[in-house]
Amino acid sequence: MIWVIDASVALRWLIEDEAHPHADGVLEKAVQYPENFAVPELFAFEVYSVLQRVHPNGLQAFTGGIIPLLQGGILRQPMTKSLAVSAESFVKLGLTGYDACYAALAKQLRGKWLTFDKKAHGRIQKLRASFLLGGRAMPQKWP
């Protein structure tokens, strides 16, 4: 199974007040088994933007914490016509364009989108395209 990492997960690795053991668990597995993880290309831009706003040293956090992961073997999916078309169905269900890209990538890869975004997860929960982190358990069939 491929797990698509949401920006909300990565930010918890780098923002002390947002730390969560499930986010740390995702990072540990992504480092051990990068072939089981993916992100849409917008992930890097989204994480960078938030870090620049809220982290005391956003650039250092990004270059030290995110760049090595992105270069470590996880799939970085660019926006394609196919992804955009797939994302459209998620936009129609109420997701933002950004969130729709994460969900669509998970769908295309026959995986699941890992997120802390309760609202987005709730809108597509019936499709089983996402897994809401932050509860008591990590996903089944975890790498």
| Residue 103's CATH number | 3.40.50.1010
Tell me whether residue 138 is in a domain. Answer: no
* Contact (Cβ atoms closer than 8 angstroms) between residue 42 and residue 98: yes
Tell me whether residue 84 is in a domain. Answer: yes
Tell me whether residue 35 is in a domain. Answer: yes
How far does the chain reach from its first CA to its final CA, in angstroms? Answer: 8
Give how many domains the chain has, as a whole number. Answer: 1
Distance (Å, whole) CA 48 – CA 134: 23
Tell me whether residue 143 is in a domain. Answer: no
Per residue of the chain (143 residues), what is the pLDDT tens digit? 999 999 999 999 999 989 999 999 999 999 999 999 999 999 999 999 999 999 999 999 999 999 999 999 999 999 999 999 999 999 999 999 999 999 999 999 999 999 999 999 999 999 999 999 998 888 877 78
Tell me whether residue 70 is in a domain. Answer: yes
Domain encompassing residue 75? 3-132
3-state DSSP assignment of residue 58: helix
Tell me whether residue 141 is in a domain. Answer: no
Distance (Å, whole) CA 15 – CA 6: 15
Tell me whether residue 44 is in a domain. Answer: yes
